Amino acid sequence: MPDRSESQSAQTGHQMEVPLFPLGTILCPGGQLPLRIFEQRYLKMISDCLKHEMGFVIVLTRTDAESGFFDLGTYGRISDFQQLQDGLLGITVQGREKVRIKSFRQDDTGLFIGEVATMPPEPEVAVGDDYAELVTLLRDLQKHPAVKRLDLDIDYDDCREVGYRLLELLPLRNEDKQYLLSLQRPAYRLEQMRYMLHAIVEHGEES
């Protein structure tokens, strides 16, 4: 079974106050997330971020007994924006770095503002032959039209990039995705991801 203890070991760094955007999905460092914006509080947030050249934190909402969102997310910057055919604002968020949410409050529009601390950068680790099956899986996923549109530039020799891109693309449980995002050792993330995928396959064969 996955060892959940590692997610508690990371140290925090630079602190900043930024808007929080709770969502039912994950964004990882180096990833791209297209979003459709329609709530007034988030329209104002996007306007302020563009005006002041700042970013915000994508954080996963909880679906378990606890309400709210997790205390670890990804700081991102807006890399593109446009008005969509349905009249809504479309933006693309580029993931920058993981952050730990130390505290948060809501402003008068209902927007969450968090005091966050950046996580230490993960070490660069080569993928090697141990995780060749995961690299093949990622290459196959990148052929999907929806993934092609993201125009991802992936270094398939870097455990961080392979793990992060699979984490964003695979249909894993949100709680498992959050756990994988919290890990600080890239190779260990791939190991845990492989374990989860094998468990899914085995469960499918049993049913």
Strands 72-83 and 89-106: antiparallel
What percent of the chain shows pLDDT beyond 70? 90
Helix (H, G, I), strand (E, B) or coil at 119: coil
Enumerate the β-bridge partners of residue 21.
58
Condensed to tens digits (0 to 9), the pLDDT of residues 123-154 reads 999 998 999 999 999 999 988 888 887 778 88
Condensed to tens digits (0 to 9), the pLDDT of residues 60-78 reads 999 776 669 999 999 999 9
Condensed to tens digits (0 to 9), the pLDDT of residues 14-43 reads 899 999 999 999 999 999 999 999 999 999
Domain spanning 6-118, CATH class: mainly beta
Enumerate the β-bridge partners of residue 80.
92
